[in-house]
């Protein structure tokens, strides 16, 4: 059974940085596309960034140049380094894994950016 657990969220001032981690257990390490999505109050869940098993990345325009996604296949973990945070980045951030046609989600971690 695949289990994704996010960590690293919290409260930060605008302009600050945070690093989110997502530990993945139960899946085949290194396979599949992993990503981060976020959902702000009253809004739909949106893509933040994804990374393939080969390391190809994709970012939402709103985070390009500020966020970096990476993965450590040996640790079966994906990271999201967030810098120059803005109040608009406030949301619950969810880790995702797409593997062999199935989508898996973590429980989410809250990121709050104060102005």
Mean pLDDT of 25-43: 88
Q: What integer best gives the mean pLDDT of the chain?
A: 94
Residue 100: per-residue pLDDT: 87
List, for residues 44-80, the tens digit of each pLDDT value. 999 999 999 899 999 999 999 999 999 998 888 999 9
Q: What is the pLDDT of residue 74?
A: 87
Q: β-strand 91-99 against 109-114: which pairing, if any?
A: antiparallel
- For the chain, give percent helix, strand, coil, nearest 5: 5, 55, 40
**What is the model's pLDDT at position 31?**
79
pLDDT of residue 25: 83
């Amino acid at each position: 059974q695949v289990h994704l657990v996010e960590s690293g969220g919290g409260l930060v001032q605008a302009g600050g940085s945070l690093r989110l981690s997502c530990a993945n257990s139960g899946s085949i390490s290194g396979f599949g596309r992993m990503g981060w999505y976020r959902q702000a109050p009253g809004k739909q869940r949106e893509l933040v960034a994804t990374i393939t098993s080969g390391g190809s990345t994709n970012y939402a325009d709103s985070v390009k140049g500020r966020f970096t996604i990476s993965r450590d296949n040996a640790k079966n973990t994906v990271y999201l380094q967030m810098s120059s945070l803005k109040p608009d980045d406030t949301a619950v951030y969810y880790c995702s894994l797409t593997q062999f046609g199935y989508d898996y989600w973590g429980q989410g971690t809250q990121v709050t950016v104060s102005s």
